[in-house]
Amino acid sequence: MSDALSAASVLAGRGIRISRRNLDAVITSMMLPIMLMLVFVYFFGGAIDTGTRYVTYVVPGVLVLCAGFGAASTAVTVSEDMRLGVVDRFRTLDVGGTPFLAGHVAATVTRNVLSTALVLGAAFAIGFRPAGTAAGWLAAIGLLLAWITAVSWLSAALGLVTKTAEAAGTITFFMMFLPYPSSAFVPIETMPSWLHGFAEHQPVTPLIESMRGLLLGQPAGDAPWIALAWCAGLLALALAASGYLFRLRTR
């Protein structure tokens, strides 16, 4: 167990060093959510009635969107390592699939934490003023970290399916798309009736509603438990799938 953790930490450091050599991709993944937030707040916010200041309403959704952008990069880096034969060299050093993938996930989570901090900083700069308690903030951060970890592992599994980095980037598009048909940017009630069922019951909506309630000091109901259940389910699925796919690709 200690050897696996040590290998995962070393590989996480490798992933972070690789990110430092690909600053253009890192900067894009960090700046795009901020740009989208500015577009929605200043271009569309005045026309959208949410019952509160639009910047206050939209920030939780942008944080989740940012998590999806960051997690999608895991599929690209995993696919590229598989294509270049890096995994074969690791296996000669007795590094298994779990430490290899855990290293990629840990590097992604680290980058995502930085991205989230930048988005929050930009949000405060344009008028985001949450009223949540310290406990609410901690709970919201914990939920967001759980979501980032779950979708990063899912992205790693998808990276094992694809043969090229381009295909990996395409197959993870749904992670970036999910916040749009949700309550992230507009109330679900304003959407077409045929879309309500999906928007209400997809995993992103309870996560956003949870973060909105916890950060703004509003009742969140059972949304945090539903969001946590989604995170646990997706993580379990991703761990099982990634283990099977890694053995399939490397046998």
Geometric angle at alpha carbon 144, from 170 and 122, rounded to 5°: 85
pLDDT at 4 over 60: no
By the 8 A CB rule, do 232 and 147 touch?
no
pLDDT digits (tens, 9 = 90+) for 95-153: 666 777 888 888 888 888 888 888 899 999 998 988 889 999 999 999 999 999 999 99
Phi-psi region of 128 (alpha: psi -120 to 50; beta: other; left: phi over 0): beta
CA distance 212 to 240: 31
CA distance 163 to 96: 20
pLDDT at 89 over 70: no
Better pLDDT: 18 or 199? 199
Please report the pLDDT score of residue 13 as a whole number: 66
Report the first-to-last Cα separation within the chain, whole angstroms.
23
Q: What is the pTM of this model?
A: 0.88
The pLDDT of 203-229, averaged and rounded, is 92
- The confidence band for 233, taking pLDDT boundaries of 50, 70 and 90, is very high
Tokens of 48: 């959208």
Better pLDDT: 17 or 46? 46
Name the residue type at position 185.
F
By the 8 A CB rule, do 184 and 62 touch?
yes
- The confidence band for 229, taking pLDDT boundaries of 50, 70 and 90, is very high
